[in-house]
Amino acid sequence: MTDRPVVYVTRPIPEAGLELLEEAEVEFHVRDEKLPPGKNELVDRLVELDPEGLLCLLTDHIDGEVMDAARSLDVVSTFSVGYDHIDMDSAEARGLAVGHTPGVLSETTADFAWALLMTAARRTVEGSEYVMADEWETWGPKLLTGPDVHGATLGVVGFGNIGSAVARRAAGFDMEVLYTDTGRQPDVEEELAEYGVDAQFVAEDELLERSDFVTLHVPLTPETEGFVGEPEVRAMKDSAVLVNTSRGPVVDTDALNTALEEDWIERAALDVTDPEPLPADHEITRHVPEKLVLAPHIASASIGTRDRMARMAAKNLLAGLAGEELPNSAIEDRR
């Protein structure tokens, strides 16, 4: 028997986080597997360990039943900014603390949204495949042409930390920047103005109609699920590029599939998909690489950021174990 608090970590996270757990002398158990635990495995393990702390990933579905399996549970800390995989009402009803990792991944995720945007616009994946298929016979005036990024109109849906970091980067490309959110964000507009970005708040319809590039940065909630469906892709320019680094279900996959098929929009670049993971033989993959660029949910995957996320998740967890306010409480942040 030990009176050290017990913590269950559903998969290996960077050492930077585990070191903090070690220093704090908690008894932590890391499930050393590549794939997430199924619900039964998770429940069984929680019953067996009865941990006070659970450190989970966005691939773990933490519902009331999972929470109840650990009778001594005080805190759930997720190694992600998104917490749509955690039943927050159930957590609140049980008085659990819930931590997440906002802020530290915003710049890295914004970098990646731009990587996808540029890839889709300038056809770099197609170019690479073209060379490797030995199809490159000569320089061609019309070979793999795409739209200009500089001078185009960028539409940012969701103007939180990540969306505004994406908008800030548009300064280097002389872009017109439109954004939409639940309300106007004058403070963020002011901050961006210092970088030479004149971000204009517009209604959703106007953003879809005017943007050359539409980039999504909303959390997944009942309100944002299916935000981009058939009416939205139809409203976009037929030359438009859609970029999604938020959550897969924010885009209706069938509607996007049809939009690419029928040329309602030019291209899409997705880091997140519905379903996720996306099987390689899913219907929508027939558009790869000409009209669709895919990535396996890696927008925050820089080495430094993943270390910062690990430390932040560990700190949230330790605060919860100590009965202290979490440095980054998802319960507070969703209010």
Of 86, 109, 106, nearest to 244 (Cα)?
Answer: 109
Least distance from ligand GLV to the Cβ atom of residue 175, Å: 25
Least distance from ligand GLV to the Cβ atom of residue 91, Å: 17
Of positions 300, 305, 316, 329, contacts ligand GLV by CB under 6 A: 300
Quote the CA–CA distance of 189 and 83 in Å, as a whole number: 27
Q: Is 82 in the site for ligand GLV (CB under 6 A)?
A: yes
Least distance from ligand GLV to the Cβ atom of residue 170, Å: 22
How many residues line the site for ligand GLV (CB under 6 A)? 6
CA 289 distance to own-chain centroid: 22
Binding region for ligand GLV (CB under 6 A) out of 39-47, 75-83, 116-124, 164-172: 75-83
Name the strand (E) or helix (H) holding 267: strand 267-270
How close are the terminal C-alpha atoms of the chain, in Å?
Answer: 39
Tokens of 125: 């994946």
Q: How many other CB atoms are found less than 10 A from the CB of residue 265?
A: 24
Q: Is 58 in the site for ligand GLV (CB under 6 A)?
A: yes
Secondary structure of residue 286 in the 3-state scheme = helix
Binding region for ligand GLV (CB under 6 A) out of 47-55, 78-86, 147-155, 190-198: 78-86
Q: Is 106 in the site for ligand GLV (CB under 6 A)?
A: no
Instruction: Pick between residue 153 and residue 300 the one whose CB is nearest to ligand GLV.
Output: 300
Of positions 81, 117, 120, 313, contacts ligand GLV by CB under 6 A: 81
Q: Is 146 in the site for ligand GLV (CB under 6 A)?
A: no
Residue 276 annotated among the catalytic residues of the structure:
yes
Q: Is 80 in the site for ligand GLV (CB under 6 A)?
A: yes
Tokens of 190: 């002011």
Q: What are the angstrom distances between the C-alpha of 101 and each of 58, 261, 269, 312? A: 11, 37, 24, 6
Instruction: Pick between residue 48 and residue 63 the one whose CB is nearest to ligand GLV.
Output: 63
Instruction: Pick between residue 152 and residue 272 the one whose CB is nearest to ligand GLV.
Output: 272
Q: Which of 234, 276, 282, 290 is catalytic?
A: 276
Name the strand (E) or helix (H) holding 156: strand 153-157
Q: Which of 247, 287, 306, 311 is catalytic?
A: 247
Q: Which of 100, 123, 297, 308 is catalytic?
A: 297
- Which residue blocks in the chain are alpha helix, DSSP H? 15-23, 39-49, 64-69, 88-93, 106-122, 124-132, 161-169, 186-193, 204-210, 230-235, 253-261, 303-321, 330-333
Binding region for ligand GLV (CB under 6 A) out of 8-16, 17-25, 79-87, 286-294: 79-87
Residues sharing a CB contact under 8 Å with residue 33, sequence separation 6 or more, in sequence order: 11
Instruction: Pick between residue 13 and residue 58 the one whose CB is nearest to ligand GLV.
Output: 58
Instruction: Pick between residue 287 and residue 311 the one whose CB is nearest to ligand GLV.
Output: 311
Least distance from ligand GLV to the Cβ atom of residue 62, Å: 14
The torsion angles phi and psi of 56, rounded to 5 degrees, stand at -120, 175
Quote the CA–CA distance of 148 and 34 in Å, as a whole number: 40
Binding mask 5-44 for ligand GLV (x = CB under 6 A): ----------------------------------------
Residue 247 annotated among the catalytic residues of the structure:
yes
Instruction: Pick between residue 81 and residue 116 the one whose CB is nearest to ligand GLV.
Output: 81
Instruction: Pick between residue 58 and residue 152 the one whose CB is nearest to ligand GLV.
Output: 58
Q: C-alpha angle with apex 318: 311 to 245, nearest 5 degrees?
A: 40
Q: What are the angstrom distances between the C-alpha of 270 and each of 115, 169, 180, 218? A: 11, 19, 20, 14
Q: Is 215 in the site for ligand GLV (CB under 6 A)?
A: no
The residue ranges that bind ligand GLV (CB under 6 A) are: 58, 80-82, 105, 300
